[in-house]
Every structure is written in structure tokens, then in C-alpha cells.
Amino acid sequence: MRLLLFDPFHGSSGDMITAALLHLGADREEVFRAMASVVKEPLVDEVERNGIRALRVRTRAEAHPRSLEEVLGKLAGADAPPGAIAMAERVIGRLHKAEEAVHGEVVHFHEVGADDAIADIIGACTALHTLGAGQVAVLPIALGGGLIIGSHGTLPVPAPATAAILAASHLLGYPGPKDGELLTPTGAALLAEFATLPATRVPPGKVLAVGYGAGTRETGTIPNLLRVFLLETGEPEEDRVEILETNVDDVSPEVIAHAITRLMEAGARDASVIPMVMKKGRSGHLVRVISDPALTGPLALVLAGELGTLGIRVIPSVHRLVASRRVIPVPVTLGGETREISVKVGSLGGKVTSVKPEFEEARAWAGEKGVPVREILRRAEEAAWQHLAREGSHGG
């Protein structure tokens, strides 16, 4: 499994993330095209921070307060893969929720809605998309300390929006090596969206590449850098989860469906509902949740609150083997138009066991073209198998 491991020992920002992924080997042409389509083509320089060579990205954007609709409109028109655009929209959603949590109803974004942030977000998401890593983990983030001056006055570090994003994620933070804002809201939202694997469960692996993204300021003895590793881990990945179960017989299907949505939003690995016959012949449902051990308590509270259940069974520390996963973009042609569709590839023991196109990307295109979604899914799967066959013929 190819895994990206972010090491924010001096914090993180949107431009540092984009630069680090480019330095690691992301497709520069595709990233530049995506960023230029929302603002301008960025400037990328090779710089040194304390003797370490790194890339620095400058968007050349002007500061414009924008509404959520304006920001989403710019992203929708970006010249980027659909999967990268969808991820960028989710990052903006995280920023918007954080500002609402801090300030109430938000009419216009301020720092986080400026065009440079939009360019950084689509650039970082496109860079991640081109690398095709199966998993992403983020080590504990240096936050900084002291006070900063922003559009809302003098505020403590981390900024309130950054703190809200961290609170809604599984990222870990610590004060860091010096005062000042080391983690920006945009950096926090990107890393929260990227992370698929808790830092506490990073498997051992071979380092394939290392990338460094430079911040703007020179910071003395500690280099102002974001480091990211590309690792090749062993197969299959070992994992430990806990299983939560409860029986319900007096809850409507609509409430159960809402509970499943809430569980997934709260961090469940998976959640399912199984019809069953209960005592005295009553029909009911078994609700089953797969959880990280650290989230068992919070997810049990969601189950109890949404379903009103009086008892929840917990099966602790279940060992499972997990297929390694990576995402590859494949070109699909339909009606004379070619687009890239993201396809998730699963492998065990070095052998591909599953190929699954991203349904939401296929559904969106099917809606535009007025064709059955299964037609796009079929073409994407065929293109993925052809891509994998070419990889195999070249020893990949």
C-alpha cells in the first residue's frame, strides 16, 4: 500500500501543502492548470530553509472576500479532475462550518475565502489526486502560540476557526516550537480532509520519496517547512477495530437511516442495518457499527441518542486484515468528451482483488449526459483494468 505521511513539525498552510506534494512528485502540469483556472498560474521557486531544499508556491492572487456560493462557483469551474473538485468543495465546507461555529451566520469568508486560499485548496487536492496514494496519515501538528492580528481583531493561537476545524477532526496538535500562527485554517481543513488513517496506526513501510514545502517566513533555527513522506507499506495491512451492535424493533426506517448518517459523520468506519425476527415474532433490525477503538464511546452515545436503545453490545479489539488501497484516475470517453474518473483499487498479497469507480463522480457525469450511471461505471472499470494490465506489463 502506498501511504502519504504528513509531518507538520512546523505547522502547515495551504501553500506549504501544495508545495510539499509537488516536491514529492505530484503532476506539476495538472496542478498548475487547476490553480490557473481559478486565479492565475502560480509561481514555484526552489528555496532553502536551514540548508534543506524545498519548493515554495505563490498563487499571485488578490485578497477578495467571497460568499460560500462564489467560492463553490469558482471551484465548480476549475480545470481539475472531478474527484479533486469534490474534495476541494468538502474542504471549503469544513472552513465554512468552522466560521459559522465561531461567528454565527457567515455572509462572506475573510482570510479563508480569499482567492489565494481557493487556489491553494484546488492545487493541493489536485496534487493529492495525481499521487494516487491509498491512505493518508498526519502526525501531530505544531500549532504555535501567542496572539495574532486578523480581520476580527487580536486573537489567540490557534485561531478560533483553526481550533474549530481541529475539534471536528481526528487530528492531533501540540503547542509547537515557537509562538505565532503555525497552522492556518486552510492548512487545518486540508489535512483534516486528507487524513484517512489515524497517526497512531501508521504501519511500518519503506520510504519511497520525501517532499518539503516551504512557508513564506524565515524562522531561525527551526526550518519553516512541511515534510511529507511517500511510504510503501507491507501487505496486507493489519488493523484492529471494535464492533458495536444493538437491536431495535420500535424505530421507523427513516430514523434508522438518519442514525446511520450521523454515525458515519461521527467517524464510524462503517455502519449497516440487518433485518431480523425478534422475540414473540416481532420484526426488527440489527444495527452494527465498525469503530476505531478510540471512538467507541462517542459512537455509542450517537446510537443511544438517535435510536433510544437501552443496551449496546461492544465486541472489543477485533483483528482484521485489510486490502491495500489506492486510487487511480482513468480517462473515460462518452459522447466525444473525455473525463478522468477516480477508481479505487484493492489488493491482497500483491494481487488486485477489486476495482471500483467512484460512484459520485460517475453519477454527476451521467446526470449531465442523460445516460445510465451504470454505463459510465462499466467504462471506468474497463479503463481501470486496461491501466492495471499496462502497469503489469511494465513490471508495475
Buried-exposed string 193-204: b where 16+ CB fall within 10 A, e elsewhere: bbbebbbeebbe
Percent of the chain topping pLDDT 90: 49
Tell me which residue has cell 496534487: 127
CA distance 204 to 201: 9
Confidence of residue 395 (pLDDT cuts 50, 70, 90): very low
- Within 8 A by CB and 6+ apart from 66, the residues are 74, 108, 109, 113, 114, 115, 118
Kindly report, residue by residue over 25-55, the tens digit of the pLDDT. Answer: 999 999 999 999 998 899 999 999 988 999 9
Confidence of residue 157 (pLDDT cuts 50, 70, 90): confident
Confidence of residue 91 (pLDDT cuts 50, 70, 90): very high
Q: Is the pLDDT of residue 108 over 70?
A: no
Q: Which residue has the higher pLDDT, 219 or 48?
A: 48
Confidence of residue 105 (pLDDT cuts 50, 70, 90): low
Q: Is the pLDDT of residue 219 over 90?
A: no
Do domains 239-322 and 326-393 share one topology? The answer is: no
CA distance 150 to 102: 14
- Within 8 A by CB and 6+ apart from 294, the residues are 198, 200
| Mean per-residue pLDDT over the chain, rounded | 87
Where are the chain's structural domains? 2-233, 239-322, 326-393
Q: Is the pLDDT of residue 1 over 80?
A: no
CA distance 213 to 9: 12
Q: Is the pLDDT of residue 168 over 60?
A: yes
Predicted confidence at residue 88, as pLDDT, reads 93
CA distance 59 to 227: 20
CA distance 16 to 125: 13
Q: Which residue has the higher pLDDT, 139 or 318?
A: 139
Q: Which residue has the higher pLDDT, 247 or 110?
A: 247
Partners of 106 in beta bridges:
none
Kindly report, residue by residue over 329-350, the tens digit of the pLDDT. Answer: 899 998 888 888 999 888 776 6
Best mean pLDDT range from 152-161, 217-226, 381-390: 381-390
Among 158-172, 173-187, 201-215, 343-357, the range scoring the smallest mean pLDDT is 343-357
Kindly report, residue by residue over 276-320, the tens digit of the pLDDT. Answer: 998 888 889 999 999 888 788 889 999 999 998 888 998 886 656
Predicted confidence at residue 208, as pLDDT, reads 93
CA distance 136 to 190: 12
CA distance 320 to 152: 48
Q: Is the pLDDT of residue 396 over 50?
A: no
Among 3-7, 271-275, 290-294, the range scoring the smallest mean pLDDT is 290-294
Buried-exposed string 325-348: b where 16+ CB fall within 10 A, e elsewhere: bbbbbbebeeeeeebbbbbebbbe
Q: Which three cell numbers stand for residue 134?
A: 491509498
CA distance 154 to 152: 7
Report, as an integer, the average pLDDT of 147-175: 84
CATH number at 326-393: 3.10.20.300
CA distance 173 to 94: 18
Phi-psi region of 209 (alpha: psi -120 to 50; beta: other; left: phi over 0): beta
CATH number at 239-322: 3.30.70.1380
Q: Is the pLDDT of residue 125 over 90?
A: yes
Q: Is the pLDDT of residue 211 over 90?
A: yes
